[in-house]
Amino acid sequence: MEKILLNFNKTFDFISKDSIFVYKQEIEKHNAALHDKTGKGNDFLGWTNLPSSITDAELADIEATASKIRSKKIDLFVVIGIGGSYLGAKAVIDALSDSFVAMKNTGNPLVVFAGQNIGEDYLYELRELLREKEYAMAVISKSGTTTEPALAFRLLKQDIEDKYGKEEAKERIIAITDAKRGALKTLATSEGYKTYVIPDDVGGRYSVLTPVGLVAIAIAGFDIRTLVKGAVDMEAVTGKNVPFEENIAAQYAAVRNELYRNGKLVEIFVNYNPKLHFLAEWWKQLYGESEGKEGKGIFPASVDFTSDLHSMGQYIQEGERKLFETVISVGAPDQEVVIPTDKDNLDGLNFLAGKRVDEVNKMAELGTMIAHVDGGVPNIQIVMPKLNEYFLGQLIYFFEIACGMSGYVLGVNPFDQPGVEAYKKNMFALLEKPGYEEATKAIKARL
Ligand code: PA5
**Is-contact 316 375, C-beta < 8 A?**
yes
Average pLDDT over residues 404-413: 98
Are 63 and 180 within one domain? yes
What is the CA 227 to chain-centroid distance, rounded? 14
Nearest to 361 by CA among 441, 310, 306, 411: 306
Global pTM exceeds 0.95? yes
Are 277 and 320 within one domain? yes
Nearest to 397 by CA among 303, 286, 299, 297: 286
Identify which of 79, 82, 147, 420 to mutate to test ligand 1's pocket (most ligand atoms within 8 A of the CB).
82
**In the prediction, which pLDDT does 51 show?**
98
Q: Residue 441 domain-assigned?
A: no
Q: Residue 430 domain-assigned?
A: no
Across 120-191, where does the E strand assignment appear?
A: 135-141, 173-177
Q: Which of 203, 224, 245 delimits the end of a domain? A: 224
Protein residue whose Cα sits closest to atom 9 of ligand 1: 83
Beta bridge partners of 196: 176
Ligand 1: distance of its center to the CA of 387 in Å? 27
Ligand 1: distance of its center to the CA of 278 in Å? 17
Q: What is the pLDDT of residues 246-262, one digit of tens each?
A: 999 999 999 999 999 99
Rounded-to-integer distance, Cα 188 and Cα 180, Å: 11
Are 238 and 385 within one domain? yes
Alpha helices in 174-298 (DSSP H): 183-191, 211-219, 224-237, 248-261, 277-291
Is the CB of 203 inside a 6 Å radius of any atom of ligand 1?
Answer: yes
Protein residue whose Cα sits closest to atom 15 of ligand 1: 141
Is the CB of 141 inside a 6 Å radius of any atom of ligand 1?
Answer: yes
Q: In angstroms, what CA-CA distances link 131 with 71, 124, 127, 134, 185?
A: 19, 11, 6, 8, 27
**424 belongs to the catalytic site:** yes
Are 220 and 95 within one domain? yes
Between the two ends of the chain, the Cα-to-Cα distance in Å is 59
For the CA of 205, the closest atom of ligand 1 is: 1
Q: What's phi and psi for 392, nearest 5 deg?
A: -65, -40
Catalytic one among 148, 281, 289, 365? 289
**In the prediction, which pLDDT does 1 show?**
87
**Is-contact 79 140, C-beta < 8 A?**
yes
Q: Residue 417 domain-assigned?
A: no
Nearest to 319 by CA among 267, 260, 372: 372
State yes or no: pLDDT of 180 exceeds 90.
Answer: no
Are 333 and 274 within one domain? yes
How many beta carbons lie within 10 A of that of residue 333, not counting itself?
15
Domain CATH code at residue 122:
3.40.50.10490
Q: What is the pLDDT of residues 135-149, one digit of tens each?
A: 999 999 998 889 999
Q: Residue 428 domain-assigned?
A: no
Q: What is the pLDDT of residues 356-404, one digit of tens each?
A: 999 999 999 999 999 999 999 999 999 999 999 999 999 999 999 999 9
Is the CB of 115 inside a 6 Å radius of any atom of ligand 1?
Answer: no
Q: Which of 208, 224, 240 delimits the end of a domain? A: 224
Q: Residue 232 domain-assigned?
A: yes
Q: Residue 115 domain-assigned?
A: yes
Number of structural domains, the chain? 2
Are 317 and 331 within one domain? yes
**In the prediction, which pLDDT does 305 show?**
98
Q: Which residue range is the domain that position 78 belongs to? A: 44-224
Residue 181's pLDDT band (boundaries 50, 70, 90)? confident
For the CA of 146, the closest atom of ligand 1 is: 15
Rounded-to-integer distance, Cα 217 and Cα 208, Å: 10
Q: What is the pLDDT of residues 150-173, one digit of tens each?
A: 999 999 999 999 999 999 999 999
Give the dihedral sign, CA 50/180/78/90: negative
Beta bridge partners of 111: 77
**In the prediction, which pLDDT does 182 show?**
83
Are 195 and 297 within one domain? no
Are 234 and 294 within one domain? yes
DSSP string of 231-265, one letter each residue = HHHHHHHTSTTS-GGG-HHHHHHHHHHHHHHTT--
| Identity of the residue numbered 191 | E
Is the CB of 83 inside a 6 Å radius of any atom of ligand 1?
Answer: yes
Rounded-to-integer distance, Cα 176 and Cα 210, Å: 10
Are 162 and 185 within one domain? yes
Is the CB of 205 inside a 6 Å radius of any atom of ligand 1?
Answer: yes
Q: What is the pLDDT of residues 41-65, one digit of tens each?
A: 999 999 999 999 999 999 999 999 9
Average pLDDT over residues 67-91: 98
Catalytic one among 17, 296, 355, 424? 424
**142 belongs to the catalytic site:** no
Catalytic one among 310, 336, 343, 421? 310
Q: Residue 242 domain-assigned?
A: yes
Residue 29's pLDDT band (boundaries 50, 70, 90)? very high
Is the CB of 289 inside a 6 Å radius of any atom of ligand 1?
Answer: yes
Q: Which of 189, 224, 259 delimits the end of a domain? A: 224
Percent of the chain with pLDDT strictly greater than 70: 100
Nearest to 176 by CA among 209, 151, 131: 209
Ligand 1: distance of its center to the CA of 54 in Å? 21
Are 214 and 148 within one domain? yes
DSSP string of 6-72, one letter each residue = EE-GGGTTTS-HHHHHTTHHHHHHHHHHHHHT-STTGGG-GGGGHHHH--HHHHHHHHHHHHHHHTT
Identify which of 117, 142, 420, 424 to mutate to test ligand 1's pocket (most ligand atoms within 8 A of the CB).
142
Q: Residue 431 domain-assigned?
A: no
**310 belongs to the catalytic site:** yes
Is the CB of 82 inside a 6 Å radius of any atom of ligand 1?
Answer: yes
Are 165 and 299 within one domain? no
Is the CB of 85 inside a 6 Å radius of any atom of ligand 1?
Answer: yes
Are 185 and 249 within one domain? no
